[in-house]
Amino acid sequence: MADHFPGEIHIGGPIPRAVLQKLIRAAADEGVSVEGYGGPDAGDDDLQKAFQEGTIVRLYADQARYGMFEALEGFLVKHRIPFDRSSEAFCEYNAEVVRYRGGKEAVVLPADQNGHVLLCREDIAAILDDALLDASAKVEAIRRLVNPPDTEPLSPIRFT
């Protein structure tokens, strides 16, 4: 049986106008709220309004399967629509932040309960201890840990 716990997804960037209604349906099928955690499930009209505002659309679910929006995230990746998703830690599942900016796949990062990305001490130590890297290469490798490629801030929605 699947565990259900809070998750939140933010959608932004370019969205093909031709897929907007399917996107709204995919979001509605997830049982999301546009009003925050504890809010009522959003209907098609609520979602239509949220997407038309031209900002970043923020959707919430108190009981997302594993804190994810599997079908919606799949739809977004298929149509190369940028998003950020965060989920809380629950039982044996760690909190995570997922960032997708239209590339091949999403970047999944471990996070704390506040959505702050965590770094693994062992990853940093391995970079610092790598005798094959000079100081500038070590700094660059740590910079990629802190700010991985394809994780720039999510931009507001614009229809294409």
Query: Do residues 157 and 12 touch, judged by C-beta distance below 8 A?
Result: yes
Cβ atoms within 10 Å of 145's Cβ, excluding its own: 14
pLDDT of the residue at 81: 97
Q: What is the pLDDT of residues 12-46, one digit of tens each?
A: 999 999 999 999 999 999 999 999 888 899 999 99
pLDDT tens column, 100-125: 999 888 888 888 877 788 888 999 99
Q: Which two tokens stand for residue 77?
A: 């990746």
Which residue would you say has higher pLDDT here, 5 or 84? 84
Predicted structure pTM score: 0.84
User: Of the candidates 118, 108, 21, 120, which has an alpha carbon nearest to the alpha carbon of residue 66?
Assistant: 108
Nearest C-alpha neighbor of 72 from the set 157, 156, 155, 8? 8
Q: What is the pLDDT of residues 43-93, one digit of tens each?
A: 999 999 999 998 999 999 998 888 889 999 999 999 999 999 998 777 777
Distance CA 8, CA 58 (A): 7
Q: Using an 8 Å Cβ cutoff, are 5 and 93 in contact?
A: yes
Q: Say what the pLDDT of residue 1 is.
A: 53
pLDDT tens, position by position, 124-158: 999 999 999 999 999 999 988 887 777 789 999 99
The number of helix segments (H) and strand segments (E) in the chain equals 5, 7
Quick check: 5 and 67 in contact, CB under 8 A?
Answer: yes
Q: In terms of Cα–Cα distance, which of 117, 83, 87 is closest to 102?
A: 83
Of the candidates 46, 21, 18, 16, the residue with the CA atom closest to the CA atom of residue 31 = 46
